[in-house]
Amino acid sequence: MNNQNPIGIFDSGLGGLTVVKAIRNVLPSESIMYFGDTARVPYGNKSPELIKEYSQQIADFLLERGAKIIVVACNTATALALGTLQDKLDIPIIGVVRPGVESALKLTQNNRIGVIGTISTISSGVYETELKNSNHSINVTSTPCPLFVPLAEEGWLNEPATKLIAEKYLEPINKANIDTLILGCTHYPLLTKVIQEVVSSKIKLVDSAQAMAFETKELLVNYRLHNNQNKKGDLKLFVSDLPAKFETVASRFLGEKISNVEKIQLGRV
Ligand code: DGL
């Protein structure tokens, strides 16, 4: 595998761009290829079988296009499909759950951690399992917040309605005496302000994008796959629907002009 090959990153839609942004900051000379499955988003309320099928199709596509490693930026896909992908593919694949878990374990002082995510991620119990595997005395309170995804997509980051919904969803979190809350969904970092307003100011929020970028760097170094070129890496974006809309949102998200988003249809929609 050539070191100049791109890192493949995927998400069910646009949320994984938080990971793209963090990786571009930490590893500026790496080229990135991103796939956002905009035709089939959301994954968060779909069956494990379908999430595995979609994730496999995307991983195969990224592999065909020369990805040297794959970063699963979607929490739901990581929760349901990472193990299968790691078993089947020959290149290193990492997911967004582990870095979030490690950051939370470093931050907590009272060993009480909260997790919020999509219905599929929370029902999979992946965060709870990983946290308890690392430290069996950790107490975990998890709750799904499904409406946070459409609210973030709609750009309703500070609306009164968003705050009301957050208050309702985060009731169990507020009662659980946690000191650390994992934002276990790509979209939730966009709602950090409202989430922090609703939970106690003493609760530290964990956004895994930054931790994911450092883990990606470590992986590339370990496998001697890092790109030492002296120029900024390329960024190529693919989506399964509405490329023009994605260009606008991605430009806003990444703070740079994005104009080459390509539409690719994978399997059934
Ligand atoms: N990307 C998904 C996640 O991180 C959120 C959006 C969806 O439900 O597909 O879980």
Choosing from 22, 73, 122, 185, the catalytic residue is: 185
User: Does the CB atom of residue 43 touch ligand 1 within 6 A?
Assistant: yes
Phi, psi of 153 (to 5 degrees): -65, -35
2 part of a folded domain: no
Asked if residue 154 has pLDDT above 90, the reply is no
Residue 117's pLDDT is what?
97
* The length of the chain, given as a count of residues: 269
269 part of a folded domain: no
Q: Which residue's CA lies nearest to atom 6 of ligand 1?
A: 42
Q: Which residue's CA lies nearest to atom 7 of ligand 1?
A: 42
Based on the domain organization, do 195 and 214 belong to the same domain? no
1 part of a folded domain: no
Residue 239's pLDDT is what?
97
Residue 67: CATH number of its domain: 3.40.50.1860
User: Does the CB atom of residue 227 touch ligand 1 within 6 A?
Assistant: no
Q: Summarize pLDDT for 118-153 with one digit per residue, the tens.
A: 999 999 999 999 999 999 999 999 999 999 999 988
The pTM is what? 0.94
Q: Summarize pLDDT for 171-225 with one digit per residue, the tens.
A: 999 999 999 999 999 899 989 999 999 998 999 999 989 899 999 999 999 999 9
Of 208, 224, 240, the domain-final residue:
208
Of 189, 208, 227, the domain-final residue:
208
Q: Summarize pLDDT for 80-102 with one digit per residue, the tens.
A: 999 999 999 999 999 999 999 99
Based on the domain organization, do 193 and 131 belong to the same domain? yes
Question: Chain-wide mean pLDDT for the chain?
Answer: 94
Which residue segment(s) compose the domain that 202 sits in?
98-208
User: Which of 19, 142, 187 maximizes ligand 1 atoms within 8 Å of its Cβ, making it the mutation to test the pocket?
Assistant: 187
Based on the domain organization, do 87 and 215 belong to the same domain? yes
Based on the domain organization, do 120 and 180 belong to the same domain? yes
146 part of a folded domain: yes
